[in-house]
Structure 1
Amino acid sequence: MSRPEDTLPPDLFYNDTESQKYTTSSRIQTIQSQMTHRALSLLNLPSPSLILDIGCGSGLSGEILSSVPAQSGGPHVWIGMDISASMLDVALQRDVDGDLLLADIGQGVPFRAGTFDAAISISAIQWLCSADSAAVSPIARLGLFFNTLYASLRRGGRAVCQFYPKNEEQRGMITGAAIKAGFGAGILEDDPGTKGCKVYLVLTVGGGEDVVGVVRGMEGVDVLDGRRRGGGKKVGGERKGSKAWILRKKEQMERRGKVVKSSSKYTGRRRKVAF
């Protein structure tokens, strides 16, 4: 089955019919709600904040932003941007609380520097990797998006983008563009290795909590911190590829009922380079 982004550009794919179908599907509503709540928990906003909803669609995520109070009480305020006029029309019909902007995120985030406390995106940024003509450069669009998103967030701000990468190359292209823009970047996977795998890109702007600290101790989550270089990446205090890291991963896999190789004194030991 082909992916939506492989068929048509988003403004054409989400026409009036598809927009209504998407919004009224109970399955999509449930999944959207789960992912939005997950993203909000990762944002970990201590007080009511101004949030940019990237690819807001018909406002399903925005409704949750308006209804879930921050830690100190009070709902968040949000502005949504989307390329589909049909999706935004459905949002207007549903009388959502956020302000709406018709815009292509591949052309950049058109707000003044430091406007937002945080940003959220559910199932949108993978569309930037699709090109409907040879004149369109996915890398250029990703670069423009992440650079302008970085500028639009205040220092210490944070963004969480849930997306569905087609493959490892696409996943690397997205995370690489975010890191190049200056973000501290972490990849989280809920239910990794399954059909229900959800991938979250957690982004921090200088001055905020380290992205690894944000997610340390979360069960069943893999974290890669793009700012750490050399000798593998630390995950929750363990260096990726170390014996402790390997043993923890094996334990997680065993709890999920998977068969893993038994450990020995050679587990995690680096092999010598053969010439």
Structure 2
Amino acid sequence: MSHIQVDGLSAEIDGTPILDGIDFNIPRGQFVGLVGPNGSGKSTLLRAIYRVFKPWAGRVVIDDEDVWRLAAKEAALKTAVVAQERMGEFDFSVAELVLMGRTPHKGLFDSDNAEDHAIVDRCLERVHMTEMRERSFLSLSGGEKQRVLLARALAQQARFLVLDEPTNHLDIRHQLDLLRQVRGLGVTALAALHDLNLAARYCDRIVMISQGSIVADGTPDEVLTNERIARVYGVGARRIPDPDGVPQIAFYPLDEALTSEVVA
């Protein structure tokens, strides 16, 4: 398992600041949720962490190594990504796409072997997609594609897993199943999530960002207060009882009469 440190990360696009001095760390084995409203900088932050968007200041350190100083293959051995991506016009079978997760473990002329195929089979089984292994990836539903992309990341066998809105397109059952799987992997993980209730249930810690800066970092109980949600998201929020003791939140428009009931 890996330890991740983000130090002073700042980024801009076309001269517009997107991230401003982001600092946080993820201890080994912890599952951290990254939350914030649309446009807060979540995806830019993740892309800076997994080397798609280079920040103009700051560092991302995994196991004492700056990821932007690593070769691409070295970085891929450390970090696997489930991104909001499209495969374009290139079509692959489900099994072929998951097999791509083995690429960082290969030399230039190495062919796929029995161990690679066994790993693919195990990863497809973990995401309940074994029966789809010969299907065209482009023929799948959005939720099925997301599960296959998770299987590809698992096949990579990296120690740090980054997920950008992994529950998009999934029905409720598969949202719960996917996050439960991530939590049970035993790897260090960072996931950008829209659903605050899912983040509260499955994440060890939540980092909340707004307008490119961290506004809270702590346990779900510490971060998800009614007052903070109202301030950051612009909606009313009320914590409701949950038999498991997990923070669960009901939301309502701030312009309703219930606004006066918003408390920290």
Which TM-score bucket, shorter chain as reference? 0.3 to 0.5
TM-score (norm 1): 0.34
Larger strand proportion of the pair: 2
Superposition TM-score, scaled by structure 2 size: 0.35
Which protein has greater RCO, CA pairs closer than 8 Å, 6+ apart?
2
